[in-house]
Chains A and B, each alone.
Chain A
Amino acid sequence: MKASSVKTWHWIHKWTSLVCTVFALLLCITGLPLIFTHEIDHALGNTVDLPELSSVVLEERGGRHGSIDDMVEDARKRRPGHAVQFVSQDDDEPDRWYVRMGETVNARRASAVFAYDGRTGRFVSEYPLDQGVMNVLIRLHIDMFAGLAGTLFLGATGVVLVASMISGVVIYGPYMQKLAFGVLRRRRSARLLWLDVHNLLGIVTLGWFMIVTATGVINTLATPIFGRWQATHLSEMLAPYRSAAPAADDGVESPQRALDAALAHVPDTEVAFMAFPGNDFSGPRQFVAFLRGSTPWRSKLLKPVLMDAQTGRVLDSRDLPLYVSALLVSQPLHFGDYGGAPLKIIWALLDVLSIVVLGSGLYLWLRKRNVSFESWQKSLTAAEDAASGAT
C-alpha cells in the first residue's frame, strides 16, 4: 500500500474512532453486566422462583393450565384504571408468565410488570421497574436516558464504529509488514506495546465485535421497524374489520380463549407475547398474538395472529416481512443469550477484550496527539529495525 494511502486510512481511522470511542466504551462497559441480566435479577430478588407445587395439587389440576383471564383480572385489581398492554410467556421458563400494564394501553413506559405462575394462574411477584442498578445500566445502554433520540444517536455511533473497524483492518496490513502475528513488543516503549495489543486484540475480536455492533445498530431501529410494520402489514390485516360495527350481543373479552385459538391456528408454536385491544401492536377490538416456533431457529422468528377480542376467533395471520425478522434475529446475536451459560461467559470475555481495544486506542491517540504522522512512522520503522537487528 502506498505511503500516502496509509496516511489517509490512518486519518480516517483516527477520526471515525475519536467520534465514537467514548460512547463505544459506555456501551461495552454497561453491556458487560447486562449480559447477565437474568442472573443478576435473580440474585437481587427482582425475579422470584416459582413455588414448588405438590403432586397432589398438580394431579387435581389434571394438567390444566392456569388461565390468563385470571392473571389479567388479578393484574387489573392491582392497578385499577390502568390498561393491560401485553401478556407474555418467559423464553426459558414456560410456566412463568408476565402481564405488562401501562397508564394507557399505548404508554411507552410500563406502569407495572407482574409475574404469574402458568400452572395455577396465581400471582408470583412484581418486577421493580425503573429502579436499581440494572435499570441505570439498561437505560444508559439503550438510550442514555434520552428516549428515542438517544437510541437513534447511539445507532449512528454504531455506524461510525463499523467504519472505524473497517479502516482499522485496512491499516492493519501495513502495520504488520515486519511483525509476526501475535508478537507484543514488550521491551520497547509503552506506546509500542499498546499499539501491538490494540492491533492483536482488535483483529482477533473483529468477527464478534462487528456482528455485535451491527446487530446493535439494527436493534436501535426497533421503533421505526415496528412502526412500518404497523403502518403496512398490520393495517392491511385490520382493514376489513375497521368499519364493522361491534356485534350487538358481544361475548366477554377472553384473552385465554383468543390465545388458544391462535395456538390452534399455527401448529408447533408457543406465544412470545400478545398485544391487547387498542395497543399499537393490535387492533381496536382485536388481539394480536406473536407466536414463536419450537425449533431453535424458528424460536427466534415470530408469526403474528389477529384475533377478534369479543369472539376469540382467528381473523388473519401473515408472516412477518424480512425487515422485522432481521430485527428479531439481531436480538439473540447481540445479547448472546441463545447458547446457555458458556456463551454468556464467552460474550463477557470478548467484551472485556473489546474494552481493552477501545481503551488502548484512546491511549494511543492521547500519546500521539502532538506527533506528526511521519515521525510516528519513523519511530515505528526504527523499532522494527532494532527488533530485527536483535534476532
Chain B
Amino acid sequence: MSRQTTLQIWGMPIFLTALSTVGLVIGLFEDGAADVICHVSLAVPIGVTLRHVGRAFFSKPPGVGPHS
C-alpha cells in the first residue's frame, strides 16, 4: 500500500475529535434539540468503531465464495 497522505491519516481523527467536543459542550448550553445533537455527535465515534470492528471480524476474506 502506498503511503497515506496527511489528510488520509488525520482526516477522520480530527473530524471525530471536533465532533465529540462540540457535541459534549452543546449539551451543556441548551436542552431539547441541542441534547439530540449532543447524543448523535457522541454516538458517531461509537458507530465508527463498531463499523470497523464488524468489518474486521465479520466480513468474509477475499477469495472465499462460489464465484471467486
Which segment of A102-110, A200-208, A234-242 sits at the interface? A200-208
Q: Could you mark each residue 1-32 of chain B with 1 if its beta carbon is under 8 Å from any beta carbon of chain A, else 0?
A: 11110001111110011111100100111110
Chain A interface residue count, CB cutoff 8 Å, equals 42
Q: What number of A-B contacts does a CB cutoff of 8 Å give?
A: 110
Shortest distance between the CB of A143 and any CB in chain B (Å): 26
Q: How far is the CA of A110 from the CA of B9 in the complex (A)?
A: 52
Shortest distance between the CB of B16 and any CB in chain A (Å): 6
Q: Could you mark each residue 329-352 of chain A with 1 if its beta carbon is under 8 Å from any beta carbon of chain B, else 0?
A: 100110000111011001001100
Chain A residue numbers with a CB within 8 Å of B38 are 339, 343
Q: How far is the CA of A212 from the CA of B53 in the complex (A)?
A: 24
Chain B interface residue count, CB cutoff 8 Å, equals 39
Chain B residue numbers with a CB within 8 Å of A200 are 49, 52
Q: How far is the CA of A332 from the CA of B27 in the complex (A)?
A: 10
Q: Are A184 and B52 within 8 A (Cβ)?
A: yes
Q: Are A180 and B4 within 8 A (Cβ)?
A: yes
A340: contacting residue among B1, B2, B12, B35, CB under 8 A: B35
- Smallest Cβ-Cβ distance to A169: which chain B residue: B13
Chain B residue numbers with a CB within 8 Å of A391 are 1
Q: How far is the CA of A297 from the CA of B26 in the complex (A)?
A: 10
Q: How far is the CA of A186 from the CA of B54 in the complex (A)?
A: 11
Residues of B whose CB lies within 8 Å of any CB of A are 1-4, 8-13, 16-21, 24, 27-31, 34-35, 38-39, 42-43, 45-46, 48-49, 51-53, 55-57, 61
The 7 closest A-B pairs by CB, nearest first: A207-B20, A182-B52, A184-B56, A207-B17, A388-B1, A339-B27, A204-B45
12 pairs from A and B in contact (CB 8 Å cutoff)? A172-B13, A182-B55, A184-B52, A184-B53, A206-B16, A207-B16, A208-B42, A332-B28, A339-B39, A343-B39, A350-B42, A384-B1
